[in-house]
Amino acid sequence: MLKYLPDEEKPPHIKEEQEELYNSMDQDELKSVQIKEEQEELCSNFDQEEPEAPQIKESECETDTGENSPYSCNKCGRTFNFCAPFKIHMRIHTGERPYSCKTCGKAFTRSDKLLCHMRTHTGEKPYLCNTCGKRFTDQSACKRHTAIHTGEKPHICNICGRRFVEKSDLNIHLTSHVGEKQHSCETCGKGFRHINKLLCHMRIHTGEKPFVCNTCGKRFTDPSGFKKHTTIHTGEKLHSCETCGKSFRHTSTLVCHKRTHTGERPFLCITCGNRFISNSNLKSHMRTHTGENVGKLFLLMLPSKST
């Protein structure tokens, strides 16, 4: 396992090579390397399993299960063992984003997030899926993707049993079991459990649409809507059925498809008692009772006459 070494512990020939390399760099390149080294030093303090990836994971910033944790958030009660992850966490509440992209101006709470974002401009995708060859700008996205092939989801919610690829995803999910919505929109008062959901919502008021489709130029307020849209152009189907292998562009479509295997029909017609695998199918069926805009749909749903 690779380990980050402070300058005083590095052999003399390595220090000389680094000094020669730094002298040959321009200021922008040098600043990028300094950010990476600063992040690697911070990660080494947390004893990361994979220090080659300069990224602070939420799993390393998780709350302390004991009562002697020295750092406590007075906003949400979350506690931390170390000062650095505590300071990073507090930026969620304060809105502080000290790391800005010089290309587009987008700001981030952590330097490693800025580094990942900069790759969207440079096109660098250093993380590779060994199964299908797909490349990613950050390690977390790569791990989530590889779970599609392996099915491995080691982190389990002890409340509902749902499984997750990463500890950070589980931590976010756990807040969904808490009734209180801590993040409120100052414009309309709507509450959200997650800060990222609030940020996406606020763009409705500001009109900001930072996610742009490079193919058609359409803009989006949130990354999920943008990602769904891009599959229209690429034809990529990200979600596969474990039973039959059929692939779908959207998770919701896959969920409905799986019901064809399980026989589950959760949507009930209160008029006639028929059940359906999707809400859209139920709505279409309801029009046969109301007569609303039925047209050809009504004829298609009628039983065919025997000749």
pLDDT at position 180 is 61
**Rounded Cα gap, residues 164 and 173, in angstroms:** 9
Three-class SS state of 288: helix
pLDDT at position 153 is 82
Question: Quick one: tokens of 15?
Answer: 């220090």
CB atoms within 10 A of CB 40: 20
**Per-residue pLDDT reduced to its tens digit, 27-37:** 444 444 444 44
Percent pLDDT > 90 in the chain is 3
Domains of the chain: 239-294 (3.30.160.60)
pLDDT at position 238 is 66
**Rounded Cα gap, residues 24 and 233, in angstroms:** 42
**Per-residue pLDDT reduced to its tens digit, 204-235:** 898 888 888 888 989 988 887 887 788 788 77
CB atoms within 10 A of CB 165: 19
pLDDT at position 68 is 61
pLDDT top residue among 296 and 289: 289
pLDDT top residue among 22 and 74: 74
pLDDT at position 293 is 56
Stated pTM of the model: 0.38
Q: Tell how far CA 74 is from the center of its chain.
A: 26
CB atoms within 10 A of CB 262: 9
Q: How confident is the model at residue 92 (pLDDT cuts 50, 70, 90)?
A: confident
Establish how many alpha carbons lie within 13 A of residue 141's alpha carbon, considering only the half-sphere containing its beta carbon.
13
